[in-house]
Structure 1
Amino acid sequence: MQKVLRRTALAKAQYARKAERRRERLAREARRLRLSEDKEHSRLAYRDIKEARLARREDWELGPLVPVRNVGNARETYGSMEMKRVRPTELAEEERIKFWSIVQDDRVVVLEGRDKGKIGVVKSIEKKSNMATVAGLNMVDIQIPPFMLANEIDKRPVRSVEMPLPISSVRLVHALTDPETGVTRDVIVKKVANSRIWFDKHTGVQRWSRFIPGLNVRIPWPKKEPKEYKVYEVDTLRPDIETRTWVPTLLTPPMPATVIDELRNKYSVFRHRHDEEYVAKKMAEDEEKAKKKGMAEMMRTPLKEANRRARKERKKMGKGTLTKEMLVTIGEIMARGRALVPAAAPQVVVA
């Protein structure tokens, strides 16, 4: 049985090491991919800025002789940017915002850019890049690749879309009523605080409330209209699902034992709960091995008999004693050994 437990522990430890190495490898690959995307994004932005500066300088130097640039291959896509620049790059897990105070359908104000000061509704949230898309604001023209236009009705090579904004570039807008004048107006909320997190262990959903610190004004979440579902004839009705057809008791297990064995994988090396028959069988095997080991130790071999006789004879002789003759002999041997060792050279002292 100890062998089975040791095998299970070793298998779990080996699996944990492999899983840790796999996580580290995936993290390195994701970090390498993020760096390459950031590098490509910066390269495209620098290229567009460089071309814009060159065009501005040519416009200033050449005057009426300025070349026409929206011709040739750039006739339809001149002034637009590639789709790669619109797609935000993902951030590392530790850099992402865990609890968002701004969600979809919230009203926000833009703090920077050409749409600075304008108020819009959040269209979508990019949680992997800490960005928000505001409907109708921060519009840019992007180039649609030809392979994407092959199966679409709209054949325009350039389209206007909303470019995502960093979450630090927007602020939540909430309507507050002045208690003195009774006038309600939109207020830019500089800071939003979250209440305690409530976790539903059944659904795995985390919920919390948001409010304005200092004023203790709770900001409600945007109302979502209930999703409409189409009913089909083959659908299972709710009463059929909610009707209790079996009531668990202390005398009846929640499921048959055979189903539990199938779920636990009876032959897995990670199994740590076994049947009583299996445990008894392994314990009997351990007792049999211990008995055989004891019998092997009790068996007398010729070598064991010789060693046993030698120990008895040494015990009969008792402990030895040193006589005067033996001490004299040992002293003579030590003197001869010192005579063989060359004496150290005398040290010469110069006055």
Structure 2
Amino acid sequence: MQKVIKRTVLAERQAARRLKRRTEKNTRDNNRSAREQRNYVRGDETDHLKQARLNRREDYELGPLAPRRDVGDWTDKWGTINSMRARGQELHPRDREKIWEPWGGKFLNIVVGDRVVIIEGRDKGKIGVIKDVSRERAEVTVGGLNLIDVTIPEYMIGPDEQDKRPIRTMEKPVSVKSIRLVVPLTDADSGVTRDVIVKKVIAAGMWFDKHAGTATWSRIIPGLDIKIPWPKKESVEDKDEPNDTLRIDVETKTFVPTLLTPPMPGTVIDELRNKFSVFRTRHDPEYIAAKEEEDRLKEEKKRTSKQMRTPLKEANRLERKAKKALGKGKLTEEMLEKIGKLVAEKRQLALEAAGVSKEGAVSEEPVTATA
């Protein structure tokens, strides 16, 4: 039985090592893909910038004879950007946490439906509603703001898609560093309600639901202790479709177990988990009894082999008996004298090697130690 347990432990360790290698490989592949995307976007931006500089210099030198650039191949693409540049790149977790820190870090205090104002770019000072929040890129999409024209490749337009336009206008995500939360607050003295720009929001009243695995909290403006309400979510009305299974059919009781028949046969465990898997830790009583009997026979065989008298064991036994008959040896005076001389010689050699002429005296000459 111990062999079966060791085999299961060995299989679990091998599976853990394979999982670790697969996880590391996926991490390397994701990092390589992100790096390639960053290089592509950076190269595309550089090419556009260089071309714009050449066009500006050509327009300046040619003046009225400068060519039109919104014709030919660029009839529809003039003033557009690549779809890869329509959104930012995924950030490193360290940089991502630093950017999200003013907004609550792990527990974000900005969600879809909040009103924000853009403080940078061409739409500076405009207020909009958040349509999407990207944690990986630390960006938010504001509805109707920061619009750009994007070129859609043909391979990205599906045959069943109704919109076949190669040029589309969409909202370009904005970094969370370029937005501020807008909250309507009422002045206690005048009673006038106006929009106030909030720079920082903190979380308070954290409550964790262990059963659902969720967390709820309130967001408060630090220093003022003003609670900011969460945006209201639109209620989704569920409609029954022809292919849906009705709840009444699901809750209908169609099987009633009796006292003589269990609700589920014991062989179900073999279907849920392979009976002959190396990871199996639950075995049948017959299998366990057979393995224990096998271990008992092996131990009995070992004891039998130890009790057998072979010629080599007999020779060793006679030799031990002869040594025991001789008894313990005694040191004679001659032996003790030789041992004392040998100890004295060794002590003198050790003192000379340490630079000491006599025991208790230290030599004035420096001693050089060599390794």
Fold conserved between structures, TM > 0.5: yes
Task: Give the one of 128, 131, 137 matched to 1:120.
Answer: 128
Alignment partner, residue 271 of structure 2: 262
Output one character per residue of 1:84-128: Cα deviation in whole Å (capped at 9) or x when no partner.
Answer: 111332234553653322211211111111001100111212222
Q: Cα offset for 1:19?
A: 1.2
Code of the aligned partner of 1:302? P
Higher mean displacement: 196-205 or 221-230: 196-205
Q: Which residue of 2 aligns with 1:24?
A: 24
Please tell me whether the aligned partners of residues 193 and 213 of structure 1 are also in contact (alpha carbons under 8 angstroms). yes
> In structure 1, how many angstroms separate the alpha carbons of the residues matched to 2:183 and 2:263?
51
Residue 309 of structure 1 pairs with residue 318 of structure 2: yes
The aligned counterpart of 1:337 is: none
Shift of 1:312: 1.7
Q: Percent identical across equivalent pairs?
A: 54
SS in 1 for 2:81: coil
Aligned to 1:63: 63
The total of aligned residue pairs comes to: 328
Whether 2:139 is the aligned partner of 1:131: answer yes
Segment drifting more, 265-274 vs 123-132: 265-274
Contact 1:130-1:166 at 8 Å conserved across structures: yes
**Aligned mates of 2:145, 2:68 — CA distance in 1:** 30
Per-residue CA deviation, residues 191-223 of structure 1 (Å, 9 max, x unaligned), is 111235444444443433222222222222222
Deviation at 1:254, TM superposition (A): 8.4
Distance 1:245 1:93, change over 3 A: farther
Equivalent residue number for residue 334 of structure 1: none
Q: 1:218 is aligned with what amino acid? A: K
CA distance in 2 between partners of 1:149 and 1:131 (Å) = 25
Higher mean C-alpha displacement, 51-60 vs 38-47? 51-60
SS across alignment from 2:169: strand
Alignment of 1:1-351 (within 5 A): 1-93=1-93, 95=96, 98-148=106-156, 151=159, 152-232=161-241, 235-239=244-248, 241=250, 256-319=265-328
Query: Is 1:82–1:142's contact at 8 Å kept on the other side of the alignment?
Result: yes
Query: In the TM superposition, what whole-angstrom CA distance separates every residue of 1:215-251 from its partner, at most 9, and x where no partner exists?
Result: 2222222222222222246644435555788999xxx
Residue 255 of structure 1: CA displacement?
Answer: 5.4
Partner AA of 1:159 in structure 2: R
- Taking structure 2 as the reference length, the TM-score comes to 0.77
Q: Which moved more, 1:214-223 or 1:258-267?
A: 258-267
Distance in 2 between residues matched to 1:216 and 1:24, nearest whole Å = 45
Any stretches of 5+ residues in structure 2 without a counterpart? 101-105, 337-371
SS in 1 for 2:281: coil
CA contact (8 A) 1:31 1:92 kept: no
Native 8 Å contact 1:110 1:116 kept in 2: yes
3-state SS, counterpart of residue 208 of structure 1: strand
Q: 1:128 aligns to what SS in structure 2?
A: coil
- Residue aligning to 2:349: none
Aligned pair in 2 of structure 1 residues 240, 206: CA closer, same or farther (>3 Å)?
A: farther
Corresponding letter in the other structure for 1:9: V
Moved more, 156-165 or 311-320: 311-320
* Pair 324,193 (structure 1): closer, same or farther in 2 beyond 3 Å: closer
What CA distance in whole angstroms lies between the structure 2 residues aligned with 1:258 and 1:149? 51
User: Which amino acid in structure 1 is aligned with residue 47 of structure 2?
Assistant: R
Once the two structures are superposed, residues 307-334 of structure 1 have per-residue CA deviations (whole angstroms, 9 ceiling, x without a partner) of 212222232233456789999xxxxxxx
Distance in 1 of aligned mates of 2:188 and 2:322: 111
* TM-score normalised to structure 1 length: 0.81
Distance 1:46 1:233 in 2: 54
Note the residue ranges of structure 1 that are not aligned, 5 or more in a row: 328-351
1:105 and 1:122 in contact (8 A); partners too: yes
User: 3-state DSSP class of the match of 1:289?
Assistant: helix
